Structure 1
Amino acid sequence: MSPTRRMWRWRSNPLRRHEDIVEAWIVLAVWVIAVVGSVLAGLVTAQAAELRFAQQRAHRHVVRAVLVADVPYGAAARWSADGRARGSVRWTAPDGTSRTGRTLVAGGLKAGARITVWQDDQGRLVPSAPTSRGEGHVEAALFAGAAAFAAAVPVFGAGAVARARLDRRRMARWDREWDLVGPRWGPKAG
């Protein structure tokens, strides 16, 4: 489409109506708000996600633990899709105290088996390892894209509703004008 056809609402034209001018401003405003809003939403979301992942990496630590009770193979199917089951473990917290808790471990392990678990700075078990730097970048980018999309959709929706209302007004005005002009064309036009 040529630039002159795209900009027809902005050019002076004897057939241009007030609704055409309003629609041109609505289209411009929708695009500006959608682009600026989605970029801001994406940037804020990406920074928040990166910060959260960095905090995870800083406050989650690997620790060796001992399995307190046997974990049968059959129990794994109830707890996770990757073959892990809930098992009781004992580990040493950062303050030197011995702690016990439950976490997901590989099925089929016997009591006394040494396993690796993750804990936070207070010595509490956390469900998984922190997100790596590379995975964090990818996830932050995905979150940013989703936030940008979520910010743009309502803006475009509101613009579409406003344009639909303008179209109804335009059609109603055309109907009124046709009611005035149409009878004059009656039998002479055919």
Structure 2
Amino acid sequence: MRAISGLWRWRHNPLRRTTDLVESWVALAALFLILVAAPALGSLVGTVTQDALQQSVREQRHARHPVPATVVGRLTASAPVPDPEIATGRDVRSRVVADWTGPDGVHRHGRVTTDLKSPHPGDRFTLWTDAHGRTVPRPLDPTTATTHAVLAGLGTALVAAGLTEGIRRLVLWRLVRRRYARWDQAWDRAGPDWGRTGTGS
């Protein structure tokens, strides 16, 4: 609103300088970019990110398979580790030695992580593997993918708005410097004759 009122104020003002008009137009353009262009860009980035992440979710769910596994023993030397695939990061997974049979029918044995809080030999849990039975992280959750897309869109909008405001402030700084330079030039011309009779002052 300040930009619009500023343009209206300078419209027919005899004291208007070119820099005043430029400043008002720059402020109006920045206002438009922050209120319209930045959200539109954020929405576009969020949509593209959402499409890409949901496609990745579908591909991962197609390529990764849940298989039943049985705990053989717990690795007591290893401390529980947080699961990087969980959005909250609060869930903790334990490392165990387990047996499982992959989708290819091959029996496997190895060290894996499980979401069992206190695993004991014989406990069963679900393990994610690829088509050859090798352990892989569980597929990305659709809700987590959507959260990442929303954050990407919001981040893009905020960065665009901040960049626009930074450019506006830089232009304003240059305009103020130009005004001061012109004032100095005008004062240098008028200074020697200031207050003298018959000089038109």
Counterpart in the other structure of 1:48: 52
C-alpha separation between the residues in 2 aligned to 1:23 and 1:121?
Answer: 63
> SS at the partner of 1:127?
coil
> Contact conserved, 1:88 with 1:101, CA < 8 A, in 2?
yes
> Contact conserved, 1:60 with 1:119, CA < 8 A, in 2?
yes
Q: CA deviation at 1:29?
A: 4.4
Closer/same/farther in 2, CA of residues 173 and 97 from structure 1, 3 Å limit: same
Counterpart in the other structure of 2:112: 103
Closer/same/farther in 2, CA of residues 34 and 3 from structure 1, 3 Å limit: closer
Per-residue CA deviations over 1:6-47 (Å, capped at 9, x if unaligned) read 433772433332223433443344443545544433333333
Counterpart in the other structure of 1:84: 93
- Among 174, 186, 190, the residue aligned to 2:183: 174
Q: CA deviation at 1:4?
A: 5.5
CA RMSD in angstroms comes to: 3.4
Q: CA deviation at 1:94?
A: 1.9
Q: Does residue 63 of structure 1 match 2:63?
A: no
Q: CA deviation at 1:117?
A: 1.4
Alignment of 1:13-162 (within 5 A): 13-30=13-30, 31-32=32-33, 34-72=38-76, 75-77=78-80, 79-80=81-82, 82-105=91-114, 106-131=116-141, 133-162=142-171
Task: Give the unaligned 5+ runs of structure 2.
Answer: 83-89, 197-201
> SS at the partner of 1:86?
strand
Closer/same/farther in 2, CA of residues 4 and 26 from structure 1, 3 Å limit: closer
TM-score, L = length of structure 2: 0.68
The number of residues matched between the two structures is: 183
> Contact conserved, 1:9 with 1:20, CA < 8 A, in 2?
no
After the TM superposition, which segments of 4 or more aligned residues of structure 1 sit over 4 Å from their partners? Answer: 1-4, 178-183
C-alpha separation between the residues in 1 aligned to 2:39 and 2:74?
Answer: 56
TM-score, L = length of structure 1: 0.71
